[in-house]
Each structure stands twice: as C-alpha cells, then as structure tokens.
C-alpha cells in the first residue's frame, strides 16, 4: 500500500524529498502497527512517544504524513475508516531565530577560500537555503539571474549583487561549468558537508545567514513582497518571521512608549 501511495504522490507532482519523507514515516509506522487496522489512539501514541525526543516541527510533519496517507487510503477504499482524521493539530512554538552578524561573517571571509566565500555569499546575499546552494549548478545562472528550484520543486529567480556575481564567476573560471560545489567523485557536495564547513568557518548555522540577508534586504527596500519572492515563501506570514529588528529599532520602540506630558502634546497641537 505504501508503494501505491508513493505512486499517487509522484503522479500528483510532489517533490522527491516529500515522497521520501512521507514513505519513511509510513514504513516506520508499519513496523509497529498494521496500516490497515491502526487506530486513532495508536497514531496518537506514536506522536506522543516523540514529544521528548523530536521537535514540534518533526511531529507536525509526522502528523501530516499520517493524515495525507489515510485520506488517500480512505478515498481509494484501502481502509474502511480514516484513523488520522481527528488527530489533534500540533502547535509549533514561535522562537526567536538567530541572525548571523555582519562583522562575524566579514571576519570569516578574511580566511575563506573561493568556495567558502561563495557559500557565505549565496546564503547571505542570495538568501538560499542550504540544499539550494549545495546543489546550485552554473546552468542555473544567466547573467546575474539564478534560477532556483526550492521546496516543493517551486522555481524562483534570485538576482546576484556584484560581490556574489564576482564570486560565482571566479569559481566558473577555476573549475569550468558545472556544480559550484562539486563532490569528490561526481555530482555535488552533500548538504551536511557544506553545513559543517560553513558552521566551522562562521560559527553560525547557515540558515541564520538567510535570516540576516532577508532582514537586510527589507531594511534597504521596505518591500516585503519582493523579499518574499526572493526567499521563495508561499506565505507572507512566513517571510515576516525572517525579518528581525535590530537593537536600535527595538530601543526606539521602547523609547516611544514613554509618557508624553501635557505640555508636549500642547506644543505639538500648536505646531500643527
């Protein structure tokens, strides 16, 4: 039944990563329960068992896999009822993300080689996700345009600033056209390897560079919609979580909460 479901997802155009994740979740469930007879309570037990070992995001993804699979299985007659229909939604706590500081990145660039520099620039200036920059191929560049295939195989165009453009052209001159970060034997480097390189070099999670780039882009333009398109977000609300006020902005907000004296209000009204 899992194979038939995977075929259904492929026919619907779901991304390969999504299919792999969904089937992995179901394969794990099948090791504990019969997929045809599992109950809602048993699915809840699977989710509850991961409360202390998995993040809320992971458990939410697991719940989504259960709901998607059993919605399909119920519709196609593979099960007699949908045990995942009433699974309680999992709330993901909103956390304050870390933002890579410019001075930290600039210090890292002093000792970075050409490939490490390109990694930092792609994450900070183009705001690419780790997988997107790891798999980036020179065929995706046309002049200063990068055609990026993001989550769910969604395509977007990201433009290079002068520093990033110079960095990519340098790599193309050194190694020819192909993956910007080639693997030792073939293909491209693994995302985990790039993650390790960037974290060791900058002391920052690569995703924090994406947050920093998005914040800088919004401060420079005030154009939330364009920042959303650059990041490849479907929801404006997601993009807003990437925009982080600086210390000066937060202090200005705090200062704005001060009491206003009657005399001050009078002077403002007279001046108006």
- Global pTM? 0.71
H-helix segments, 12-55: 16-30, 40-48
* Domains defined along the chain, listed by start: 2-75 (1.10.150), 102-247 (1.10.443.10)
When pLDDT is cut at 50, 70 and 90, the band that residue 261 belongs to is: low
pLDDT for the residue numbered 97: 67
Contact 181, 123 (CB under 8 A): no
Tokens standing for residue 121: 């620039």
CA distance linking residue 98 with residue 209, whole number of Å: 9
User: What percent of the chain stands above pLDDT 70?
Assistant: 93
pLDDT for the residue numbered 72: 94
DSSP string, 60-86: HHHHHHHHHHHHHHHHTTSSSS-TTTT
What tens digit of pLDDT does each residue of 134-172 get? 999 999 999 999 999 888 778 899 999 999 999 999 999
pLDDT value at 197 more than 80 = yes
Contact 16, 156 (CB under 8 A): no
């Amino acid at each position: 039944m899992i194979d038939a479901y995977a075929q259904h997802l492929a026919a619907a155009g779901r991304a390969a990563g999504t299919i792999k994740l969904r089937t992995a979740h179901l394969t794990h469930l099948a090791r504990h329960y019969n997929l045809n007879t599992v109950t809602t309570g048993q699915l809840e037990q699977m989710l509850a068992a991961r409360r202390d070992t998995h993040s809320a995001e992971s458990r939410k993804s697991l719940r989504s896999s259960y709901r998607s699979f059993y919605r399909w299985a119920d519709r196609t007659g593979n099960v007699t009822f949908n045990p995942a229909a009433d699974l309680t939604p999992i709330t993901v706590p909103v956390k304050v993300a870390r933002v890579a500081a410019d001075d930290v990145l600039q210090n890292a660039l002093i000792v970075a080689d050409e490939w490490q520099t390109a990694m930092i620039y792609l994450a900070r200036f183009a705001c690419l996700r780790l997988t997107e920059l790891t798999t980036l191929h020179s065929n995706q560049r046309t002049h200063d345009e990068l055609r990026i295939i993001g989550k769910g195989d969604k395509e977007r165009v990201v433009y290079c600033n002068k520093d990033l453009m110079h960095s990519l052209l340098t790599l193309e001159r050194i190694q020819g056209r192909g993956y910007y970060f080639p693997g030792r034997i073939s293909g491209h480097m693994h995302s985990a390897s790039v993650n390790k390189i960037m974290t060791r070099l900058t002391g920052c999670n690569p995703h924090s560079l994406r947050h920093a780039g998005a914040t800088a882009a919004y401060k420079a333009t005030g154009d939330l919609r364009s920042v959303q398109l650059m990041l490849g977000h479907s929801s404006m609300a997601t993009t807003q979580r990437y925009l982080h006020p600086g210390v000066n902005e937060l202090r200005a907000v705090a200062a704005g909460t001060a009491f206003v004296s009657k005399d001050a209000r009078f002077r403002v009204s007279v001046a108006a």
